[in-house]
A = this chain, B = another copy of it.
Amino acid sequence: MKPSDQITAEGILFTDEYQLTMAQLYYRMGMHERHAQFDYFFRSYPDYNSHKAGYCVNAGLEWLLDWIQAARFREQDVEYLRGQTGRAGERIFDGDFLTWLRGNGTFDGITLRAIPEGRVVHPNVPLAVAQGPLAMAQILETSLLNHLNYPTLIATKAARIHAAGQGRPLLEFGLRRAQERGANAGARAALIGGADFTSNVGISHVLGYPPKGTHAHSMVQVFMALGEGELGAFLAYADVYPDDCLLLVDTIDTLESGIPNAIKVFEELRRKGHEPVGIRLDSGDLAHLSIQAAKMLDEAGFSDTSIVLSNQLDELVIWQILTQIEEEAPRYGVEADHLIDRLVYGVGTRLITSQGASALDGVYKLVAVRDEGEWVPAIKISETPEKTLNPGDKLVWRVYDRRGKATADLLSLDDEDPREVDRVLLHHPTEHTTYRVLDQRDISEAELLLVDVLREGQLIYECPSIEEMRERRRADVERLDPGVKRLVNPHIYHVSLTERLWDLKQELIEIVEEED
């Protein structure tokens, strides 16, 4: 795309056409500056077919804020809209509306609350709440969803892969398989969720993390084609990077050629006073090969070198590799724990595309409209009860039990405080007769999750650093019940309504059904 086109395609027109046709309708009806509230939430955890997430990691807010603050209707954007014609050849957008857009088409009226990046989050909990003039709050929808859905999906996948890897370093390698420039948002989200570094140079620079990488098969192939073989390639690499020597050993044959050649080079490095970093395995049976590699490296006196694994890894593949190592390593005289402690994971495609669940189903739904100085809760009912909205302006509480573990997220009306009552009723969001009651003494903490981010377009929030987001994620994951963290078939975390919110919801459903 040409740079000038990129500015057009990524600015305020980075939205769906229907947001603009609705905005004009609101304008025509005199409703465009009436305040409305939209909740952003996802309906279900990513489901990877054979496994499913039990929690998500929230991400994407900072770059959404960057977009909101820069987006406005430029003259050329308005001119483009002026040229749009409908079926009968008439202009779709009228001059008065376009004049209004040109003068008022910014997000300066939007007030936004949101859950910070890095926090553990769950379905049907508002992760962002936008209030503001109806027309611009509507136009915001598409870009808000775009900026939040994908990063949360990837931060979640990274958290799972990190967990499967038992805390060993996780490198994000997915730039080549991502959705074009979306790769940068993906790499950032991976860092928030659990990756330690990325191979992506540009985004590493921007975020202040050192990028990671050594060499590819092509380097070995070049030396082979010129008659210097794999050993020649390894010697050259060690010569140029004597203190950062990590060699890819599977270009010809891992056990017969790659590792023996690597060991020769490592021995020479050590003679010259340098310690090698390790090897990378990128094909074959990674569990078996890593055991054999460890054995060969141990016997050659390189028992501290890293073994980097790559090639179609994800959380289940890593889990399987570790299980196989634990079973198989002792048979070869290799200590499984020591081997696992030297592993590093390079994960590309399956992380950056969240393979198996390639989208988060986040939505942005109208939950209240301002009328005569009062918020009127709005609802949309559905034949699927789980899809019926939780109406009105709500507070989001995370309730911790006596062990300090998160036991539920609780949605309440905006004047409720579960810390001020003796017994807290947690109502199931859709089933009439299902609820549980917590005694106040069973609750160690009730925490509000949404923070103020924008007040009428003004940023009133200091975005934390990526490192702070990572710390936040570690702390939140630590406070999850182990059952919720299971990779397969996790325990369902409770997202509940207070009794008053439940009653309001039922009342609105009845009104709609009577009108129907």
Q: How far is the CA of A20 from the CA of B253 in the complex (A)?
A: 25
Q: How far is the CA of A210 from the CA of B229 in the complex (A)?
A: 56
Nearest B residue to A205 by beta-carbon distance? B80
- Judge if A9 is at the interface, Cβ distance under 8 Å: yes
Q: Check B186–A243 contact: CB distance below 8 A.
A: no
Q: Check A277–B9 contact: CB distance below 8 A.
A: no
Question: Given A66-B2, A516-B253, A516-B256, is A10 in contact with B221 using a C-beta cutoff of 8 Å?
Answer: no
Which chain B residues border A383 with CB–CB below 8 Å?
283-284
Question: Given A181-B185, A182-B180, is A202 in contact with B14 using a C-beta cutoff of 8 Å?
Answer: yes
Q: What is the distance, in angstroms, from A257's C-beta to the closest C-beta of chain B?
A: 6
Q: Which of B22, B70, B355, B360 makes the CB contact (< 8 A) with A215?
A: B22
- Judge if A225 is at the interface, Cβ distance under 8 Å: yes
- Judge if A17 is at the interface, Cβ distance under 8 Å: yes
Q: Check A257–B16 contact: CB distance below 8 A.
A: no
Which chain B residues border A407 with CB–CB below 8 Å?
none
- Judge if A492 is at the interface, Cβ distance under 8 Å: no
Q: Check B378–A222 contact: CB distance below 8 A.
A: yes
Q: What is the distance, in angstroms, from A265's C-beta to the closest C-beta of chain B?
A: 14
Q: What is the distance, in angstroms, from A86's C-beta to the closest C-beta of chain B?
A: 4
Q: Check A90–B213 contact: CB distance below 8 A.
A: no
- Judge if A217 is at the interface, Cβ distance under 8 Å: yes
Interface locus among A140-148, A315-323, A327-335, A474-482? A140-148
Question: Given A145-B177, A256-B516, A377-B225, is A218 in contact with B365 using a C-beta cutoff of 8 Å?
Answer: yes
- Judge if A178 is at the interface, Cβ distance under 8 Å: yes
Residues facing B in A421-449 (CB within 8 A) are none
Q: How far is the CA of A14 from the CA of B150 in the complex (A)?
A: 19
Question: Given A8-B202, A205-B80, A243-B87, is A63 in contact with B1 using a C-beta cutoff of 8 Å?
Answer: yes
- Judge if A303 is at the interface, Cβ distance under 8 Å: no
Question: Given A145-B176, A229-B515, is A201 in contact with B359 using a C-beta cutoff of 8 Å?
Answer: no
Q: What is the distance, in angstroms, from A382's C-beta to the closest C-beta of chain B?
A: 7
Question: Given A202-B11, A222-B366, A224-B512, is A21 in contact with B181 using a C-beta cutoff of 8 Å?
Answer: no
Q: Check B179–A243 contact: CB distance below 8 A.
A: no
Q: Check B380–A221 contact: CB distance below 8 A.
A: yes
Which chain B residues border A57 with CB–CB below 8 Å?
none
Which chain B residues border A38 with CB–CB below 8 Å?
218
Which chain B residues border A25 with CB–CB below 8 Å?
215, 219, 236-237, 240-241
Which chain B residues border A365 with CB–CB below 8 Å?
217-218
Q: What is the distance, in angstroms, from A97's C-beta to the closest C-beta of chain B?
A: 10
Q: Check A277–B87 contact: CB distance below 8 A.
A: yes
- Judge if A336 is at the interface, Cβ distance under 8 Å: no
Q: Check A225–B380 contact: CB distance below 8 A.
A: no
Q: Check B175–A206 contact: CB distance below 8 A.
A: no
- Judge if A358 is at the interface, Cβ distance under 8 Å: yes
Q: Check A149–B175 contact: CB distance below 8 A.
A: no
A9, A145, A237, A353 — most chain B CB neighbours (10 Å):
A9
Question: Given A9-B202, A22-B215, is A236 in contact with B184 using a C-beta cutoff of 8 Å?
Answer: no
Q: Which of B13, B183, B224 makes the CB contact (< 8 A) with A146?
A: B183
Q: How far is the CA of A15 from the CA of B205 in the complex (A)?
A: 12
Q: Check B369–A211 contact: CB distance below 8 A.
A: no
Q: How far is the CA of A237 from the CA of B221 in the complex (A)?
A: 64
Q: Return 24 A-B CB contacts under 8 Å, by A number.
A: A1-B185, A15-B201, A16-B200, A17-B199, A17-B211, A18-B215, A21-B214, A25-B236, A28-B240, A29-B236, A36-B222, A63-B180, A84-B211, A86-B241, A141-B218, A176-B362, A178-B179, A179-B179, A179-B185, A218-B365, A221-B366, A222-B366, A251-B380, A256-B516
Chain A residues engaging chain B, CB cutoff 8 angstroms:
1-3, 5, 8-11, 13-22, 24-26, 28-29, 31, 36, 38, 49, 63, 66, 70, 80, 84-88, 90, 92, 134, 138, 141-142, 145-147, 149-151, 173, 175-186, 199-206, 210-219, 221-222, 224-226, 229, 236-237, 239-241, 243-244, 251-253, 256-257, 277, 283-284, 349, 353-355, 358-362, 365-366, 368-369, 371, 376-383, 512, 515-516
User: 4 nearest interchain CB pairs?
Assistant: A179-B182, A182-B182, A18-B213, A17-B213
